[in-house]
Amino acid sequence: MTLDAGELTELKPIEHFLQSRQEALPGRQLAAIREAAPAFKEWFAASGTPGFVRTCDLIELPYPRRFALWRASRSPAPFVRIFNRMMVVRWNDAGGHRRTMLVEPTEHYLAAATPYFASMEKRHPRMRTLAVSVHGTVEGHLERLGISPEEIDFITFDHLHTQDLRKWLGTTRPAEDLVASGKASLPRAMAAEPLEPFFPNARLLVMRDEWDQLFGDSLHPLQRRWYQQRTFADLRDDRVVLLDGDVQVGPGVALLSTPGHSIGNHSIVLNTERGIWTSSENGVHAECYTPERSGIPGVSSYASEWGAEVVLNANTIEMAAWQVNSMVKEKLVADRGGPGGEWVQHFPSSEMTPWVGSPGTAASFVWGGLSHGALQRA
Ligand SMILES: [Zn+2]
Protein backbone atom coordinates (compact mmCIF):
# COMPACT_ATOMS: atom_id res chain seq x y z
CA MET A 1 0.00 0.00 0.00
CA THR A 2 1.35 3.38 -0.98
CA LEU A 3 1.20 6.33 1.41
CA ASP A 4 -0.40 9.71 0.85
CA ALA A 5 1.68 12.83 1.39
CA GLY A 6 -0.74 13.84 4.18
CA GLU A 7 0.45 10.84 6.25
CA LEU A 8 3.92 12.40 6.57
CA THR A 9 3.63 15.49 8.74
CA GLU A 10 7.09 16.67 7.69
CA LEU A 11 5.85 17.25 4.13
CA LYS A 12 4.17 20.67 4.07
CA PRO A 13 1.78 21.46 1.22
CA ILE A 14 2.69 24.63 -0.69
CA GLU A 15 -0.38 26.54 -1.79
CA HIS A 16 0.97 29.40 -3.91
CA PHE A 17 0.37 27.66 -7.24
CA LEU A 18 -2.95 25.96 -6.39
CA GLN A 19 -4.98 28.28 -8.60
CA SER A 20 -2.68 27.76 -11.59
CA ARG A 21 -2.95 23.98 -11.23
CA GLN A 22 -6.73 24.16 -11.57
CA GLU A 23 -6.74 26.06 -14.87
CA ALA A 24 -7.94 23.86 -17.73
CA LEU A 25 -6.57 26.06 -20.51
CA PRO A 26 -2.79 26.33 -20.85
CA GLY A 27 -2.89 30.05 -21.69
CA ARG A 28 -4.77 30.81 -18.50
CA GLN A 29 -2.51 28.54 -16.51
CA LEU A 30 0.53 30.43 -17.74
CA ALA A 31 -0.98 33.73 -16.61
CA ALA A 32 -1.80 32.23 -13.20
CA ILE A 33 1.77 30.93 -12.83
CA ARG A 34 3.18 34.38 -13.56
CA GLU A 35 0.91 35.87 -10.96
CA ALA A 36 1.74 33.33 -8.25
CA ALA A 37 5.50 33.01 -8.72
CA PRO A 38 6.77 36.19 -6.99
CA ALA A 39 5.01 35.45 -3.67
CA PHE A 40 6.19 31.83 -3.75
CA LYS A 41 9.72 32.93 -4.44
CA GLU A 42 9.75 35.42 -1.59
CA TRP A 43 8.34 32.85 0.83
CA PHE A 44 10.73 30.11 -0.31
CA ALA A 45 13.84 32.31 -0.10
CA ALA A 46 12.94 32.97 3.55
CA SER A 47 12.24 29.29 4.33
CA GLY A 48 15.89 28.50 5.16
CA THR A 49 18.55 26.48 3.41
CA PRO A 50 19.62 22.84 3.46
CA GLY A 51 22.99 22.12 5.03
CA PHE A 52 24.50 20.30 2.09
CA VAL A 53 23.91 19.87 -1.64
CA ARG A 54 26.29 18.03 -3.95
CA THR A 55 25.91 16.61 -7.44
CA CYS A 56 27.57 13.29 -8.31
CA ASP A 57 28.46 12.39 -11.90
CA LEU A 58 26.83 9.21 -13.19
CA ILE A 59 26.88 8.85 -16.98
CA GLU A 60 27.14 10.77 -20.25
CA LEU A 61 25.16 9.40 -23.14
CA PRO A 62 24.03 10.34 -26.64
CA TYR A 63 20.60 11.85 -27.09
CA PRO A 64 18.86 12.91 -30.32
CA ARG A 65 19.52 16.57 -31.07
CA ARG A 66 15.95 17.05 -32.21
CA PHE A 67 14.75 15.96 -28.76
CA ALA A 68 17.27 18.08 -26.83
CA LEU A 69 16.70 21.30 -28.78
CA TRP A 70 13.48 20.48 -30.60
CA ARG A 71 13.00 22.84 -33.57
CA ALA A 72 15.45 25.45 -32.38
CA SER A 73 18.85 24.11 -33.45
CA ARG A 74 20.25 24.35 -36.99
CA SER A 75 22.95 21.73 -36.44
CA PRO A 76 22.89 18.70 -38.77
CA ALA A 77 24.32 16.50 -36.00
CA PRO A 78 21.92 13.67 -35.17
CA PHE A 79 23.02 13.40 -31.54
CA VAL A 80 24.16 15.59 -28.68
CA ARG A 81 25.43 14.29 -25.36
CA ILE A 82 23.63 14.67 -22.06
CA PHE A 83 25.10 14.19 -18.59
CA ASN A 84 23.08 12.44 -15.87
CA ARG A 85 23.90 13.34 -12.31
CA MET A 86 22.60 12.40 -8.89
CA MET A 87 22.15 15.05 -6.23
CA VAL A 88 22.62 14.50 -2.49
CA VAL A 89 20.66 16.94 -0.31
CA ARG A 90 20.89 17.13 3.50
CA TRP A 91 19.06 19.26 6.05
CA ASN A 92 17.89 19.21 9.65
CA ASP A 93 14.16 18.81 10.18
CA ALA A 94 12.07 20.77 12.69
CA GLY A 95 12.99 18.27 15.43
CA GLY A 96 16.70 18.67 14.72
CA HIS A 97 17.01 15.27 13.01
CA ARG A 98 19.30 15.00 10.04
CA ARG A 99 17.52 14.15 6.80
CA THR A 100 19.13 12.95 3.59
CA MET A 101 17.51 12.87 0.17
CA LEU A 102 18.87 11.44 -3.07
CA VAL A 103 17.62 13.16 -6.20
CA GLU A 104 17.87 11.12 -9.43
CA PRO A 105 19.76 8.08 -8.08
CA THR A 106 19.62 6.36 -11.46
CA GLU A 107 20.95 2.80 -11.71
CA HIS A 108 22.15 3.38 -15.24
CA TYR A 109 23.01 -0.28 -15.89
CA LEU A 110 19.32 -1.04 -15.35
CA ALA A 111 18.07 2.04 -17.23
CA ALA A 112 19.62 0.55 -20.39
CA ALA A 113 16.68 -1.89 -20.59
CA THR A 114 14.21 0.97 -21.23
CA PRO A 115 12.49 0.20 -24.57
CA TYR A 116 13.85 3.40 -26.13
CA PHE A 117 17.48 2.67 -25.16
CA ALA A 118 17.19 -1.02 -26.04
CA SER A 119 16.05 -0.23 -29.59
CA MET A 120 18.72 2.48 -29.93
CA GLU A 121 21.36 -0.09 -28.93
CA LYS A 122 20.06 -2.39 -31.67
CA ARG A 123 20.14 0.30 -34.34
CA HIS A 124 23.47 1.82 -33.30
CA PRO A 125 25.46 -1.01 -31.70
CA ARG A 126 28.71 1.01 -31.65
CA MET A 127 27.15 3.97 -29.89
CA ARG A 128 27.98 2.62 -26.45
CA THR A 129 31.72 2.58 -27.10
CA LEU A 130 31.74 5.85 -29.06
CA ALA A 131 29.52 8.09 -27.02
CA VAL A 132 28.76 6.66 -23.58
CA SER A 133 31.05 7.53 -20.65
CA VAL A 134 30.37 6.09 -17.22
CA HIS A 135 31.61 8.31 -14.40
CA GLY A 136 30.26 6.61 -11.31
CA THR A 137 27.51 4.67 -9.62
CA VAL A 138 25.05 5.61 -6.90
CA GLU A 139 26.64 3.18 -4.42
CA GLY A 140 30.16 4.32 -5.30
CA HIS A 141 29.36 7.98 -4.71
CA LEU A 142 27.64 7.29 -1.39
CA GLU A 143 30.59 5.24 -0.20
CA ARG A 144 32.98 8.02 -1.17
CA LEU A 145 30.87 10.55 0.72
CA GLY A 146 30.67 8.26 3.75
CA ILE A 147 26.86 8.02 3.62
CA SER A 148 25.35 4.60 4.38
CA PRO A 149 22.21 3.31 2.59
CA GLU A 150 20.41 3.33 5.98
CA GLU A 151 20.89 7.10 6.23
CA ILE A 152 18.83 7.82 3.12
CA ASP A 153 15.40 9.11 4.19
CA PHE A 154 14.01 10.10 0.79
CA ILE A 155 14.67 9.37 -2.82
CA THR A 156 12.99 11.25 -5.62
CA PHE A 157 13.23 11.45 -9.41
CA ASP A 158 11.90 14.41 -11.34
CA HIS A 159 10.02 11.71 -13.28
CA LEU A 160 10.25 7.94 -13.73
CA HIS A 161 11.35 7.60 -17.36
CA THR A 162 13.98 4.85 -17.71
CA GLN A 163 13.86 3.84 -14.02
CA ASP A 164 13.90 0.32 -12.63
CA LEU A 165 13.57 0.87 -8.88
CA ARG A 166 13.47 -2.74 -7.72
CA LYS A 167 17.01 -2.75 -6.39
CA TRP A 168 16.47 0.43 -4.36
CA LEU A 169 12.97 -0.27 -2.97
CA GLY A 170 12.83 -4.08 -2.96
CA THR A 171 10.26 -6.43 -4.43
CA THR A 172 7.33 -8.54 -3.25
CA ARG A 173 8.38 -11.53 -5.36
CA PRO A 174 11.73 -12.91 -6.53
CA ALA A 175 13.25 -10.72 -9.24
CA GLU A 176 15.05 -13.48 -11.11
CA ASP A 177 15.55 -11.50 -14.30
CA LEU A 178 17.20 -8.66 -12.40
CA VAL A 179 19.61 -10.89 -10.49
CA ALA A 180 20.36 -13.08 -13.53
CA SER A 181 21.15 -10.08 -15.73
CA GLY A 182 24.19 -9.40 -13.56
CA LYS A 183 23.61 -5.68 -14.11
CA ALA A 184 22.46 -4.85 -10.61
CA SER A 185 25.53 -6.34 -8.84
CA LEU A 186 23.30 -8.61 -6.78
CA PRO A 187 24.48 -12.05 -5.55
CA ARG A 188 22.93 -15.03 -7.36
CA ALA A 189 21.55 -16.40 -4.11
CA MET A 190 19.09 -13.49 -4.09
CA ALA A 191 17.30 -14.82 -7.18
CA ALA A 192 15.08 -17.15 -5.12
CA GLU A 193 13.75 -14.55 -2.66
CA PRO A 194 12.02 -11.19 -2.92
CA LEU A 195 14.64 -8.44 -3.00
CA GLU A 196 15.35 -6.57 0.19
CA PRO A 197 15.49 -2.80 -0.42
CA PHE A 198 18.99 -1.40 -0.83
CA PHE A 199 17.73 1.76 0.92
CA PRO A 200 15.80 0.22 3.84
CA ASN A 201 14.56 3.53 5.29
CA ALA A 202 14.06 5.57 2.14
CA ARG A 203 10.69 6.84 1.04
CA LEU A 204 10.12 7.46 -2.65
CA LEU A 205 8.49 10.87 -3.21
CA VAL A 206 6.57 10.80 -6.48
CA MET A 207 3.63 12.68 -7.96
CA ARG A 208 0.45 10.59 -7.97
CA ASP A 209 -0.05 11.04 -11.76
CA GLU A 210 3.45 9.76 -12.49
CA TRP A 211 2.92 6.71 -10.30
CA ASP A 212 -0.64 5.82 -11.32
CA GLN A 213 0.12 5.71 -15.02
CA LEU A 214 2.54 2.80 -14.50
CA PHE A 215 -0.15 0.26 -13.65
CA GLY A 216 -2.72 -1.60 -15.70
CA ASP A 217 -3.29 -0.09 -19.11
CA SER A 218 -2.85 3.52 -17.98
CA LEU A 219 0.21 4.32 -20.10
CA HIS A 220 -0.54 5.95 -23.42
CA PRO A 221 1.28 4.56 -26.48
CA LEU A 222 3.15 7.89 -26.79
CA GLN A 223 4.57 7.34 -23.31
CA ARG A 224 5.44 3.64 -23.33
CA ARG A 225 8.89 3.70 -24.88
CA TRP A 226 10.26 5.71 -21.97
CA TYR A 227 9.14 3.57 -19.03
CA GLN A 228 10.13 0.14 -17.74
CA GLN A 229 6.55 -0.53 -16.81
CA ARG A 230 6.83 -4.26 -16.04
CA THR A 231 9.46 -3.61 -13.33
CA PHE A 232 6.88 -1.77 -11.22
CA ALA A 233 4.45 -4.70 -10.92
CA ASP A 234 6.32 -6.43 -8.06
CA LEU A 235 7.88 -3.34 -6.54
CA ARG A 236 7.46 -2.92 -2.78
CA ASP A 237 5.29 0.14 -2.44
CA ASP A 238 4.91 0.48 1.34
CA ARG A 239 7.44 3.33 1.33
CA VAL A 240 6.11 5.05 -1.78
CA VAL A 241 4.62 8.47 -0.94
CA LEU A 242 2.21 9.91 -3.49
CA LEU A 243 2.17 13.69 -3.82
CA ASP A 244 -0.79 15.65 -5.14
CA GLY A 245 1.04 18.90 -5.73
CA ASP A 246 3.79 21.19 -4.48
CA VAL A 247 5.38 20.33 -1.12
CA GLN A 248 8.10 21.66 1.12
CA VAL A 249 10.33 18.77 2.20
CA GLY A 250 12.76 20.69 4.39
CA PRO A 251 14.14 24.21 4.88
CA GLY A 252 14.94 25.53 1.42
CA VAL A 253 13.98 22.17 -0.15
CA ALA A 254 10.76 21.84 -2.16
CA LEU A 255 9.24 19.73 -4.90
CA LEU A 256 7.10 21.68 -7.36
CA SER A 257 4.73 20.01 -9.76
CA THR A 258 5.96 20.76 -13.30
CA PRO A 259 4.15 18.43 -15.70
CA GLY A 260 5.18 18.46 -19.33
CA HIS A 261 8.25 16.36 -19.92
CA SER A 262 6.16 13.66 -18.27
CA ILE A 263 2.61 13.83 -16.98
CA GLY A 264 3.65 13.69 -13.32
CA ASN A 265 6.93 15.57 -13.65
CA HIS A 266 8.20 17.63 -10.73
CA SER A 267 11.11 19.98 -10.14
CA ILE A 268 13.46 19.94 -7.18
CA VAL A 269 13.84 23.47 -5.84
CA LEU A 270 16.75 24.36 -3.58
CA ASN A 271 17.67 27.52 -1.72
CA THR A 272 21.48 27.72 -1.55
CA GLU A 273 24.30 30.14 -0.84
CA ARG A 274 24.11 30.99 -4.58
CA GLY A 275 20.37 31.62 -4.48
CA ILE A 276 17.48 29.49 -5.67
CA TRP A 277 17.96 26.61 -8.12
CA THR A 278 15.45 24.42 -9.90
CA SER A 279 16.22 21.02 -11.38
CA SER A 280 14.31 18.79 -13.79
CA GLU A 281 14.50 17.40 -17.31
CA ASN A 282 12.00 19.84 -18.84
CA GLY A 283 14.96 21.59 -20.49
CA VAL A 284 18.47 20.24 -21.13
CA HIS A 285 20.50 23.41 -20.76
CA ALA A 286 20.35 26.76 -18.94
CA GLU A 287 20.39 28.43 -22.39
CA CYS A 288 17.04 26.73 -23.11
CA TYR A 289 15.54 28.93 -20.38
CA THR A 290 16.67 32.21 -22.00
CA PRO A 291 16.89 31.19 -25.65
CA GLU A 292 17.11 34.81 -26.77
CA ARG A 293 20.59 34.92 -25.19
CA SER A 294 21.73 31.55 -26.51
CA GLY A 295 24.81 31.27 -28.73
CA ILE A 296 23.78 27.84 -30.05
CA PRO A 297 23.23 28.41 -33.79
CA GLY A 298 19.52 28.74 -34.54
CA VAL A 299 18.27 29.02 -30.98
CA SER A 300 17.96 32.80 -30.58
CA SER A 301 16.40 33.25 -34.03
CA TYR A 302 13.92 30.47 -33.21
CA ALA A 303 13.08 32.30 -29.99
CA SER A 304 12.42 35.60 -31.73
CA GLU A 305 10.47 34.08 -34.63
CA TRP A 306 8.18 32.02 -32.38
CA GLY A 307 8.18 34.28 -29.34
CA ALA A 308 9.56 31.31 -27.42
CA GLU A 309 10.45 31.96 -23.79
CA VAL A 310 11.94 28.49 -23.45
CA VAL A 311 13.14 25.57 -25.59
CA LEU A 312 11.58 22.24 -24.64
CA ASN A 313 13.35 18.97 -24.13
CA ALA A 314 11.04 17.40 -26.67
CA ASN A 315 11.34 13.62 -26.54
CA THR A 316 7.72 13.68 -25.39
CA ILE A 317 5.66 16.45 -26.88
CA GLU A 318 2.16 15.29 -26.03
CA MET A 319 1.99 18.00 -23.34
CA ALA A 320 4.04 20.70 -25.04
CA ALA A 321 2.02 23.73 -23.87
CA TRP A 322 2.03 22.48 -20.26
CA GLN A 323 5.75 21.85 -20.48
CA VAL A 324 6.29 25.45 -21.59
CA ASN A 325 4.25 26.57 -18.57
CA SER A 326 6.29 24.38 -16.24
CA MET A 327 9.56 25.73 -17.65
CA VAL A 328 8.32 29.28 -17.17
CA LYS A 329 7.42 28.32 -13.58
CA GLU A 330 11.00 27.09 -13.08
CA LYS A 331 12.36 30.21 -14.76
CA LEU A 332 10.36 32.53 -12.50
CA VAL A 333 11.37 30.66 -9.35
CA ALA A 334 15.11 30.21 -10.04
CA ASP A 335 17.60 33.02 -9.40
CA ARG A 336 20.10 34.18 -12.00
CA GLY A 337 23.80 33.21 -12.06
CA GLY A 338 26.52 31.79 -14.27
CA PRO A 339 28.73 33.88 -16.60
CA GLY A 340 27.72 37.55 -16.25
CA GLY A 341 25.07 36.54 -13.71
CA GLU A 342 22.53 36.36 -16.54
CA TRP A 343 21.49 32.73 -16.69
CA VAL A 344 18.50 31.00 -15.14
CA GLN A 345 19.80 28.76 -12.36
CA HIS A 346 18.08 25.69 -13.68
CA PHE A 347 20.22 22.62 -13.24
CA PRO A 348 19.07 20.07 -15.82
CA SER A 349 19.02 16.53 -14.41
CA SER A 350 20.31 15.63 -17.90
CA GLU A 351 22.55 18.53 -18.88
CA MET A 352 23.62 18.90 -22.51
CA THR A 353 27.43 19.04 -22.60
CA PRO A 354 29.78 19.97 -25.48
CA TRP A 355 30.81 16.97 -27.56
CA VAL A 356 33.06 16.62 -30.60
CA GLY A 357 30.44 14.41 -32.30
CA SER A 358 27.89 17.19 -32.19
CA PRO A 359 29.14 20.30 -34.05
CA GLY A 360 26.93 23.38 -33.91
CA THR A 361 25.31 22.61 -30.58
CA ALA A 362 27.85 23.86 -28.03
CA ALA A 363 26.45 26.25 -25.46
CA SER A 364 28.58 29.04 -24.01
CA PHE A 365 28.97 27.28 -20.65
CA VAL A 366 27.78 24.31 -18.60
CA TRP A 367 26.91 24.18 -14.92
CA GLY A 368 28.81 20.91 -14.62
CA GLY A 369 27.73 20.42 -11.00
CA LEU A 370 26.08 22.02 -8.02
CA SER A 371 27.64 22.40 -4.61
CA HIS A 372 26.41 24.05 -1.43
CA GLY A 373 27.42 23.76 2.22
CA ALA A 374 29.60 21.12 3.81
CA LEU A 375 28.98 17.48 4.61
CA GLN A 376 28.69 16.80 8.34
CA ARG A 377 29.67 13.18 8.70
CA ALA A 378 27.99 10.90 11.19
ZN1 LIG B 1 12.60 11.80 -19.36
pLDDT at residue 36 greater than cutoff 90 = yes
Give the 3-state secondary structure of residue 243.
strand
Could you report the per-residue pLDDT of 222-242, keeping only the tens digit for each? 999 999 999 999 999 999 999
How far is ligand 1, taken at its centre, from the CA of residue 88, in Å? 20
pLDDT at residue 184 greater than cutoff 90 = no
Q: Which band of pLDDT confidence, cut at 50, 70 and 90, is reported for residue 378?
A: low
- Going by the DSSP 8-state scheme, the letter that residue 30 receives in this structure is H
How far is ligand 1, taken at its centre, from the CA of residue 97, in Å? 33
pLDDT at residue 162 greater than cutoff 80 = yes
How far is ligand 1, taken at its centre, from the CA of residue 325, in Å? 17
The answer to whether 331 and 60 have CB atoms below 8 angstroms apart is: no
CA of 229: how far to CAs of 152, 215, 217, 219, 376, in Å? 25, 7, 10, 9, 38
Confidence at residue 188, expressed as pLDDT on a 0 to 100 scale = 85
How far is ligand 1, taken at its centre, from the CA of residue 265, in Å? 9
* CATH superfamily label, 3-373: Ribonuclease Z/Hydroxyacylglutathione hydrolase-like (3.60.15.10)
Across the range 171-191, mean pLDDT stands at 89
Give the 3-state secondary structure of residue 347.
coil
The answer to whether 349 and 270 have CB atoms below 8 angstroms apart is: no
How far is ligand 1, taken at its centre, from the CA of residue 306, in Å? 24
Q: Give the DSSP H/E element, type plus range, for residue 351.
A: strand 350-353
Q: What whole-number distance in Å separates Cα of residue 219 and Cα of residue 229?
A: 9
Confidence at residue 125, expressed as pLDDT on a 0 to 100 scale = 86
pLDDT at residue 312 greater than cutoff 90 = yes
The answer to whether 323 and 312 have CB atoms below 8 angstroms apart is: yes
Could you report the per-residue pLDDT of 126-159, keeping only the tens digit for each? 888 888 999 999 999 999 999 999 999 999 999 9
Confidence at residue 69, expressed as pLDDT on a 0 to 100 scale = 97
How many residues in total does the chain contain?
A: 378
Across the range 238-251, mean pLDDT stands at 97
Q: Which band of pLDDT confidence, cut at 50, 70 and 90, is reported for residue 187?
A: confident
Question: Mean pLDDT over all residues of the chain?
Answer: 95
pLDDT at residue 377 greater than cutoff 80 = no
Q: Which band of pLDDT confidence, cut at 50, 70 and 90, is reported for residue 376?
A: confident
Domains in the chain: boundaries: 3-373
